[in-house]
Each structure stands twice: as structure tokens, then as C-alpha cells.
A = this chain, B = another copy of it.
Amino acid sequence: MQIDLKSLAERVGGRLDGPADLVVRGLAGIRDAEAGDCTFVAHPKYLKDLAGTRASAAIVGQDVECSIPAIRVDDPSIAFARALHVFAPAREELFPPGIDPQASIHPDSELAEGVHVGPAAVVGPGCRVGVGSVIGAGTVLLHDVAIGEACLIYPRVVVREGCRIGNRVIVHAGAVIGADGFGFARMGATVHKIPQIGRVVLEDDVEIGANVCIDRATTGETVVAAQTKIDNLVQIGHNVRIGERSAVSAQSGISGSTTVGDDVILAGQVGIADHLRIGDRVRIGAKSGVSNSVEDGATVSGIPTRNHADWRRLQVHLTRLARYADEIAALKRRVEELENR
């Protein structure tokens, strides 16, 4: 893969500030870049690295001083993302249309035009896969799974019976969509399983990370709404509903029947208890434990969570706790002295 700087500038929507015919062979961060690479500077704190970079060109802001050939744009991050699209291998190259002869396709299933099914993949009875979707090697779709158009289901995913996946959804390797919710009823010395007869719905443009688990609903649906992105190793309990454009970072867990709003951001390793309501535009700090509902727009942190500003003040007080203890001891001595006067 190589491209001249003029063409790259056009592809990312930038203004060329250097030789049009300079050949770019790769993309790299400013410190890792080698000759032939194009790099970028999105944050002022990396501007100082521009002088020492080995990159042959850089995507930079409109007014940034830059000693190497440049593509000038308003938002270098967005432009670099576009450049990454230029260099990324085409999906059809990695997963060309066609059904591998070693895939297992049930005769009562429907695969639309242009679908890729990899070796050792399994498409069960009643499944439908939309135009141009990819079912990776070793992926298993059980009964009556519906997958929309232009989806990319990576190798070794499992989608359990009856689940629904929209259009342009990406599911990374190892994810399990629609396993049973964790529901049991105790009677005396016997633990009875509560059957889980609902399903999982992933709406359009959702992305699900590697080895994520999203449990089917007891009845009804567990829903991840449009454009929401879920990072690796996340757990989503039964009957959870996550709104649109939210982001759930790695290793977080959301317990059964909790609803999460639109445009919410969960940092990593967050846990949310069951049956709560997390409002729209909420932000939850890394490693927080949420045991109460959270209002729209709030930013919370801690175990249990409190308002983020309160949490920060608490950290300051904790740092001073030894001093407070000393001050109490000193006060006791001084009061005793006063009492003995």
C-alpha cells in the first residue's frame, strides 16, 4: 500500500502543504514513525515531538508550525482516522463473498447475496443473514438468528437462538450473544433454574468487543441500541437496556434489568447493580461500583459512587487523614492542659 501526499490530502479532506508526489507507505504515531510514514499531531502537547520525528509527512492543524511536508486540516484526529481507512485492508479482501465448503449451513436458513461464511462456521435452522455480511470461521449461529446487512461477525462468536442483530454491526471474536441470564430460585436445599426465554437485540451500528457476554432476557429483550460500542470482556446481564451512542469500556459489568441512557460513557472495570436507571449523558469513572440510580448528565466515581467532585474532595481528605488524626491527638493534649490550668 502506498499513496502520494496529494491523493492522501484529498482523501482526508486536507490542504496540501508539501510536495504532491511524496510517497507515503504507512501511518504511525509521532514517536514510532519511520521514513515513509505519515504521522499526525492532534494534541498541543505532542507538537514538541514534531521536530524529532522520522516521519516523512504529518497531518496537523491549520496554523501549526511544521518543518516536514504537511496536510493541514481543522481536526487532525478525524483526518487521521480517515487516513487509517485509506490504509486499512478492504473487508472483501479479508473476507471475500462465498460460503466455505467446510461451513455447516442448515438448509432452512437464508444467506443473502455477497455473504461470507468461513470454515467451521455453523448457521442453524431458521437463520437469516443480510446482504454483504461476514460470518467468521468457527462462528456458531443457533436457531432463528437474524443478522442484518453489512455486518462483520468475527471468528468464533456464538449467537444463541432467536437473537436479532441489525445492520453494520461488528461483533469481535469470542463474544457470546444470548447466553442464559443468571436466574435461579431456591426451594429448601434445591436450586431451581429459571428458564430464560427472551432474546438479545443489537441495533444498527453497534460494536461488541472480544469475549463479551450479553445475556438473553428472562422474557422480552436485552437491548443494545444504535451506535453503542462495547469494549472487550464486558458483561451485560439479562433484560438490560443500553441507549444510543453510549460507550462501555473493558471489563465493566451491568447487572440484570438496569437501563442505561443515551450518550453514556462507562470507563473500565465499572460495575452497576441490578434494577437501576442510569440517565442520559452520564459518565462513570473507572472501577466505580454503582449501587443507586444516576441522574441525567451526572458524573460519578467511587465504590459506592458519589458525585465526581465529591469523590475528588474525599480523596483529598483521605490523603490528609493521618494529619487529622495527629491534629485530634494534639487538640486532646491542649484541651487537657487547658482543663488543668
Using a CB–CB cutoff of 8 Å, the interface residues on chain A facing chain B are: 26-29, 32, 77-78, 80-81, 84-85, 87-89, 94, 100, 102, 104, 118-120, 122, 136-138, 140, 142-143, 154-156, 158, 160-161, 170, 172-174, 176, 179-180, 182-187, 189-197, 205, 207, 209-211, 213, 215, 218-220, 227, 229, 231-233, 235, 237, 239, 245, 247, 249-251, 253, 255, 268-269, 271, 273, 286-287, 289, 291, 303-304, 306, 313-315, 317-322, 324-325, 327-328, 331-332, 334-335, 338-339
Contacts and interface: CB of A to CB of B under 8 A. Distances in A.
A74 B137 CA distance: 50
Given A29-B239, A231-B235, 17 more contacts: A29-B220, A77-B185, A85-B195, A119-B122, A140-B156, A154-B179, A156-B158, A179-B209, A191-B227, A193-B207, A211-B233, A213-B232, A249-B255, A251-B271, A271-B287, A321-B321, A334-B335
Contact of A334 (B119, B286, B306, B339): B339
This chain's copy number in the assembly? 3
A220 B29 CA distance: 8
Contacts of A273: 268, 286
A99 to B, nearest CB: 13
B231 A233 contact: no
A161 to B, nearest CB: 6
A237 B250 contact: yes
A89 B195 CA distance: 10
- Point out which of A89, A172, A197, A331 has the most chain B C-beta atoms below 10 A from its C-beta: A197
B182 A209 contact: yes
Interface centre among A118, A187, A210 (most CB of B within 10 A): A210
Contact of A251 (B102, B251, B313, B319): B251
B255 A268 contact: yes
Contacts of A318: 314, 321
A287 B100 CA distance: 45
Contact of A155 (B140, B247, B306): B140
A174 B174 contact: yes
B339 A174 contact: no
B328 A324 contact: yes
B237 A235 contact: no
Contacts of A338: 335, 338-339
A219 B253 contact: no
B271 A182 contact: no
18 contacts: A81-B192, A120-B120, A120-B140, A122-B155, A136-B140, A140-B173, A156-B156, A158-B173, A182-B249, A210-B215, A215-B232, A273-B286, A313-B322, A314-B321, A317-B321, A318-B321, A321-B321, A334-B339
Contacts of A287: 271, 289, 303
A211 B233 CA distance: 9
